[in-house]
Amino acid sequence: MADAPASMTARFLPYARQTVEDDDIAAVVAALKSDFLTTGPLVEKFEAAFAAATGATQAVACNSGTAALHLAALASDLKEGEAAIVPALTFLATANAVRMTGAEVVFADVDPDTGLLTPQTFAAAIASARNGGLKPRAALPVHLNGQVCDLPALAKIAEQHGIILLEDACHALGENNVGAAKHSAAACFSTHAVKAITTGEGGVVTTRDSAMAERMRRLRTHGMVREPADFSSRDLGFDGNEPNPWYYEMREIGWNYRIPDILCALGLAQLQKLGRLFARRREIAALYDRLLAPLSPAIRPVPHGSAPHGWHLYAILVDFSALGTTRARFMNALRKEGIGTQVHYMPLHLQPYYRERYGKQRLPGAETYYARCLSIPLFPAMHDGDVERVVQALARLVSKVSA
């Protein structure tokens, strides 16, 4: 992509930003003019397109990534008295979805350089759950920043222990085979504003298990059953052999996690450009990799090698103390230069709610990653000149110290 004119390069660069184009807007306007604002034909169309994009056989769309995680956990029968393993380095939603089922969370440590759950930290978390008298029934590996976990290795361990794998793929939609759910029961995506594609707020669960998909579709709308063939009550549901025209029934508690047609219209338009948006993310990441190399070891990219990636975030590891600064001062200095950054994430075992529930824990990998991580701007509309501007600002902060 060509460089932007000088006047454009001075704009504020957030750490992430949606790409909404004229065709997206036209698709939403058309949906608004249609007969359906809530659940209509575009929900199924969006689900089919999402399944095709990820290589899954089924996709269940809902109104947030959090709802997607909750639906997947519910459809795995996770419940009170059981436990699920969650890497400590993730967004609140991964663990909260487990708590929303009544099950307990067992936090696993992560690799200090990638922030990912590894086979070693997974096995250690299973052992620690067992030592604490908890039976882990599920685990939710997180593809942090878009880096793809070693799923085949995690799946092998999960199988040995009878654990269901539910991928938190909220960062990982891209051309990287994430979502095909070949090594897991399901993968959960977010289509929140700053994700790979957006519906404003939204989420999708992909799976190869059609019974699980059906259950999630029921749970997304109050646990309601509308198909006469599935009615359990003959006397309430039928007039003779004819189903009552008003009748629906509920056999288990569900939620309103429905996504409206208006948002699916946007999602469908966005999915059509996923390849282009992802390719630009990958290009920007490669440019950062190259331009940041001279700033090592004070600043270095989170190591990714040639492993598959979703490039949701571009995270760097900064040795703030070697630079004689703090992360807050560093972030504020960048902000003064018009550059937004964010921390993904404070480990969840340090959150007051979880600390109170499970006591103080030490997870050194997660804490080491947290101490150094910083997400710098990455979004498809960035120009090469924007990337250079970010790296130059980082270089100035490094040289201030070495001067």
Ligand X SMILES: Cc1ncc(COP(=O)(O)O)c(C=O)c1O
Q: Least distance in Å: CB of 202 to ligand X?
A: 7
Identify which of residues 53 and 142 has a Cβ nearer to ligand X in the complex: 142
- 313 contributes a contact to ligand X by CB under 6 A: no
Is residue 195 annotated as part of the catalytic site, yes or no? yes
Pair of tokens at residue 96: 């909260």
Cβ(253)–Cβ(263) below 8 Å? no
Q: Segment contacting ligand X (CB under 6 A): 31-39, 164-172, 247-255, 277-285?
A: 164-172
Only one of the segments 47-55, 74-82, 87-95, 319-327 lies at the binding site for ligand X (rule: CB under 6 A); that segment is 87-95
Please pick, from the candidates 70, 137, 171, 218, the single residue that binds ligand X as defined by CB under 6 A.
171
CB of 308 closer than 8 Å to CB of 145: no
Give the tokens for residue 215: 């259950």
Q: One symbol per residue from 130 to 149: x for binding ligand X (CB under 6 A), - otherwise; what is it?
A: ------------x-------
**What minimum distance in Å lies between the beta carbon of 286 and ligand X?**
23
We find the least distance from the C-beta atom of residue 201 to ligand X, in angstroms, to be: 6
* Candidate list 156, 195, 360, 400, residue with the active-site label: 195
Binding mask 178-217 for ligand X (x = CB under 6 A): ------------x-x----------x--------------
For 30, the enclosing helix (H) or strand (E) is helix 22-33
Q: Which stretch binds ligand X (CB under 6 A): 59-67, 204-212, 214-222, 303-311?
A: 59-67
Distance CA 331, CA 353 (A): 26
Residue 115 sits in the site that holds ligand X (CB under 6 A): no
Q: Is 270 in the site for ligand X (CB under 6 A)?
A: no
Kindly state whether residue 167 participates in binding ligand X, applying the rule CB under 6 A: no
381 Cβ contact list (under 8 Å, min separation 6):
17, 19
Q: How far is CA 79 from the centre of its chain?
A: 22
Does 64 interact with ligand X (rule: CB under 6 A)? yes
**Among residues 18, 54, 66, 199, which is the contact residue for ligand X, using CB under 6 A?**
66
Q: What b/e readout covers 352-391, taking b as 16+ CB neighbours within 10 angstroms?
A: eebeeeeeebebebbbbbbebbbbbbbbbebbbbbbebbb
# chain residues binding ligand X, by CB under 6 A = 14
Judge whether 115 and 94 are in contact, CB under 8 Å: no
Q: What are phi and psi of 9, to 5 degrees?
A: -70, -15
Give the residue with the Cβ less far from ligand X, 65 or 347. Answer: 65
The C-alpha atoms of residue 44 and residue 88 are separated, in whole angstroms, by 34
Round to whole Å and give the CA distance between 372 and 317.
Answer: 5
Residue 172: both structure tokens together: 């990982």
Of 254 and 391, the one with the shorter C-beta distance to ligand X is 254
In this chain, which stretch among 31-39, 91-99, 350-358, 372-380 interacts with ligand X, using CB under 6 A? 91-99
- Sign (positive or negative) of CA dihedral 205, 220, 345, 19: positive
Candidates 60-68, 105-113, 278-286, 389-397; binding stretch for ligand X (CB under 6 A): 60-68
Minimum Å distance from CB 171 to ligand X?
Answer: 5
For residue 174, what are the contacts with CB-CB under 8 A and spacing of at least 6? 146, 196, 274, 278, 281, 309, 310, 311, 312
Token pair 């501007």 in the structure block, residue: 389
Q: Is 54 a binder of ligand X (CB under 6 A)? A: no
Which residue number, 166 or 292, has a Cβ lying nearer to ligand X?
Answer: 166
Looking at beta carbons, which residue is closest to ligand X? Answer: 65
What sign does the dihedral 61-32-265-28 (CA atoms) show? negative
Verify binding: residue 90, ligand X, rule CB under 6 A: yes
Instruction: Give the interface with ligand X as residue ranges (CB under 6 A).
Output: 64-66, 90-91, 93-94, 142, 168, 170-171, 190, 192, 203
List the catalytic residues. 195
